[in-house]
Structure 1
């Protein structure tokens, strides 16, 4: 097996070749490769595959994106555009199989893409929810589907659903950028102007496993030490804990007005902290107060695209870091912020270790009634590219994001998913409805917003002086 450095060198040399040389080389390689070769899964894919086998009806790992198209939408051109994207990105025409005792992925040959036509009457929201909530059969079908729903004359919804095993948040921006280029080209009967991809996702999966066995394995010692004795998050519940995790969930809104958010950002800049660090510190404080703990682990997703050649790819690159909050000794908010800053910067230095390997290294006992290691998650999505995801036009169509339907599922017991917009801080607090009532979740959301608003004004307030209603 070649080393990770040698593989990187070869990939770099391949990317530097003229497009026609690369195409010829791939054709020659493909002629000697057995049909239906099984490729390994990346670590993240493997975890999602096992979860899908654990509960095939679980739709919490669906990634839906629905937009409203106003104008003369051309269904045939949309179908051709999506087909071109699926042909271009092999991960979107992949099925997932067992190879011996391990899962693997098989790239299917390109074939015409079928854009479904659905009747949204009488309730478009319900129609989108039903469509996006239809389970995938990853063993036999590609992990993407799309439908066009006619609302009226020159008024349609385009609903795209991809399983998380093949896509992440970054990928959606890539998908919408290429959809616009391919749709416009299909309308004029030409070719889209898209740079050739330097590699495919299956190549990344192979490389990431080699890296984890080599240089990435050196990070596990840090996580083994950092997470030794990490406790479960023991929030008070409103219902008895089921013996087996179901993922049933609900959500309530989180918001902080722009003026308060701007004041918080200015304060954090003076403390050499990012908005992410400040909000994570607040989340740790809220959870610690509610649970009566001074030691809290929160999972944080990171993009995982630490090489420029990964940027134009569609695929699942994200990883999860475990940020362990130290709230011992009744610190002030300023001191908690300092601890959070140090913990975040240290964690990022060891971000190459796959979460699945970290779980094994931490030796956390498995409990079917709760997610492993991280019962809480936190995400601030402002770092992801959104220019094409939130685009306002596509050829001669106007484009607007259609609100996603409530999924009724959650990946963790409690999670905050936030974004920074022109109106301030917005987002959702998702909760496991098997455990918590909506009232309790709303109390936690209110405590979070209140403390985030006070951090800049009362940074020397000690945690014992906090008041809340959750």
Structure 2
């Protein structure tokens, strides 16, 4: 039992602690007691999918960078440790409780930087590192490794689980890594923006807010949408596995200039034009006029979310209307209207829309959206930065995941010579040659949406 004098002395010392230190102490004490926090709706969906198939690595977010120069591994590990101390979701463990899945935030501690020699083909080593499953109950939802070629030439590999981070968060991570590492080399404190809230506060708010009207609006417009039935090369398995592979493609700069002129003429965005071309490609391949395409969005509707690491991304379902065989201009008008209606409700949780639709249970395919389309618009300045402190940095694409989040999933991003693209596809359903043909058909169709 604490004596009255000691108790008074402790209270006096606590009263003299600055408010920000008191709040940090309060949070740490709560964490040590193991107080659980709710998951966001997006986190909960990813958690259930991961529990359903722990080997599925389609929700891994990898980033690998060649580092050249005098790499100091201890300072690099310290920089990652500092980042994890700032962003509580990187210290989370995810466990089932009587109230459902919850995240338990551990106190700040050292981040392990795995170190090994890089012998042989880097793609083999990186593939094993990227596709090593996470145990979300006992491990952090991210890991980092430093693979040595020689002392001044190393490969830094980062893998985050989507339950804790998205593409935007990866950009935040790389920005903070550069600042923390540079500050450590220079012997100063890093200059980082203050975080308005922890991720668990966002998750609690997101679960409590009323989105009933938005869900009802979207469910009404999506009701009755048929599944996309692309011609398959293999019999559809009774259960969706997500096993996948990818083909890469490219859209020339001249074609993209034509797309941009077409978008200005149509008073829409290049994304809308490319989405229309993708819908037209899928519609022809499947001989369908009506289906949905999923669109990933950043989900950071407030400015205070911008500097946070966390899983904010959401999915929007954009319904295609190819009735009457519309030409490019008419189809883009239809896409523009649907995209605007949907994007104004971009923070409506996809999981709640799916639940409201009450779709028939079908374990052989994903609900509502069998295809997805993404045009990269998250900030890339820090992910593709040419340096980290006094080190030269160069992105290493690596082998990618062996899984796909959809039967057909297209991602595109700008380059100096046009648009680069990757088409992930289900290997349970399609042969590589079929998907190469589909990618070629898509790029040819884009060429018809130009001026």
TM-score by length of 2: 0.94
Residue pairs, 1:176-325, within 5 angstroms: 176-211=174-209, 214=210, 216-325=211-320
Q: Which residue of 2 aligns with 1:60?
A: 58
Tell me how large the CA RMSD over aligned residues is: 1.4
Distance in 1, matches of 2:193 and 2:292, equals 41
- The residue aligned with 1:380 is 375
Following superposition, the deviation at residue 34 of structure 1 comes to 7.2
Question: Secondary structure of 1:166's match?
Answer: coil
Structure 2 SS opposite 1:241? coil
- The DSSP-based 3-state class of the residue aligned with 1:112 is coil
Instruction: Report the CA distance between 1:126 and its aligned residue.
Output: 0.7
* Correspondence 1:81 to 2:79: yes
Within 5 Å, which residues of 2 pair with 1:20-31? Answer: 20-28=18-26, 31=29
Q: Deviations over 1:143-193 (max 9, x none)?
A: 111110011230000001111100000001100010011111222333111
For the residues of structure 1 that align with 2:25 and 2:262, how far apart are their CA atoms?
57
User: How many Å apart are 1:394 and its aligned residue?
Assistant: 1.2
The unaligned stretches of length 5 or more in structure 2 are 1-16
Partner of 1:329: 324
Q: 1:291 to 1:156 in 2, by over 3 A?
A: same
Q: Which runs of 5+ in 1 are unaligned?
A: 1-18, 458-470
Q: How many residues align?
A: 435
Would you identify which runs of 4 or more consecutive aligned residues in structure 1 move more than 6 Å? none
Q: Select the residue among 431, 436, 442 that pairs with 2:436.
A: 442
Q: 1:33 to 1:429 in 2, by over 3 A?
A: closer
SS at match of 2:230: coil
- In structure 1, what is the Cα distance between the partners aligned to 2:30 and 2:374? 44
The one of 436, 456, 465 equivalent to 2:450 is: 456
1:85-104 to 2 correspondence within 5 Å?
85-104=83-102
User: Per the alignment, in what secondary structure is the counterpart of residue 271 of structure 2?
Assistant: helix
Is this contact kept in 2: 1:219–1:352, CA < 8 A?
no
Tell me the residue number matched to 1:11: none
In structure 2, how many angstroms separate the alpha carbons of the residues matched to 1:150 and 1:204?
Answer: 39
Bigger Cα displacement from structure 2, 63-72 vs 404-413? 404-413
Cα distance in 2 between the residues matched to 1:65 and 1:361: 36
d(CA) in 1 for partners of 2:400, 2:158: 16
> Which one of 112, 115, 136 corresponds to residue 113 of structure 2?
115
Q: Is the 8 A contact 1:415 1:430 kept in 2?
A: yes
Deviations 1:189-214 (A, max 9, x none): 33111122111111110011112xx2
Which residue number in structure 1 is paired with residue 426 of structure 2? 432
Residue in structure 1 matching 2:408, options 405, 414, 419:
414
1:48 aligns with 2:46: yes
Q: CA deviation at 1:24?
A: 2.8
In structure 2, distance between residues paired with 1:124 and 1:168: 25
